[in-house]
């Protein structure tokens, strides 16, 4: 299998993982968090309601989706990829309204869109600076 095919499979898997993670129901933890375990603390902050890292995760999530879609669809489709990211984020937030354990919020939508915009701008800057060949 060549590198291009492996990259395509990785990009598709990252998009599927994002969409799946955004629509599966979340359960609240049954026991208190073990604050001595740093990794458990971070994952808890991201995965459960009101975590202080949740806004950062929402910002970063669509950046990886943007990069994956650019890889799949090609450089000439950057604006289309940005639009797809915005629509994907809106769709996820809409469907979260109907999934038990999920919360749909305007803040999440805005942070996702800002992350996609940031990725789009970084991509354009990298192109102009000839960082991408």
- Host domain of residue 116: 3-24+54-128
**Residue 64 C-alpha from the chain's centroid:** 6
User: Domain for residue 70, yes or no?
Assistant: yes
Query: What's the average model confidence in pLDDT over 91-118?
Result: 88
CA-closest candidate to residue 10, choices 89, 2, 96: 2
Neighbouring residues of 62: CB distance < 8 A, sequence distance ≥ 6? 18, 85, 88, 89, 112, 113, 115, 116, 119
Query: What's the average model confidence in pLDDT over 95-111?
Result: 85
For residue range 105-119, list pLDDT tens digits in order. 898 899 999 999 999
User: Domain for residue 99, yes or no?
Assistant: yes
**Residue 98 C-alpha from the chain's centroid:** 20
57 contacts 47 by C-beta, under 8 angstroms: no
For residue range 15-72, list pLDDT tens digits in order. 887 777 777 776 655 555 555 677 766 666 666 555 667 788 888 888 888 888 888 8
Whole-model pTM?
0.73
User: Domain for residue 35, yes or no?
Assistant: no
Predicted confidence at residue 117, as pLDDT, reads 94
């Amino acid at each position: 299998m060549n590198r291009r095919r492996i990259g395509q499979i990785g990009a598709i898997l990252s998009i599927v993982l994002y969409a799946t993670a955004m629509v599966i129901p979340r359960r609240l933890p049954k026991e208190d968090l073990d604050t001595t375990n740093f990794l458990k603390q971070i994952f808890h902050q991201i995965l459960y309601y009101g975590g202080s890292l949740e806004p950062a995760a929402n910002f970063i999530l669509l950046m990886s989706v943007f990069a994956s879609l650019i890889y799949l669809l090609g450089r000439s489709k950057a604006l289309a990829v940005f639009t797809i990211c915005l629509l994907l984020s809106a769709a996820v937030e809409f469907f979260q309204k109907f999934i038990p354990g999920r919360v749909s919020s305007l803040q999440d939508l805005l942070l996702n869109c800002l992350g996609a915009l940031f990725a789009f701008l970084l991509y354009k800057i990298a192109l102009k600076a000839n960082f991408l060949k």
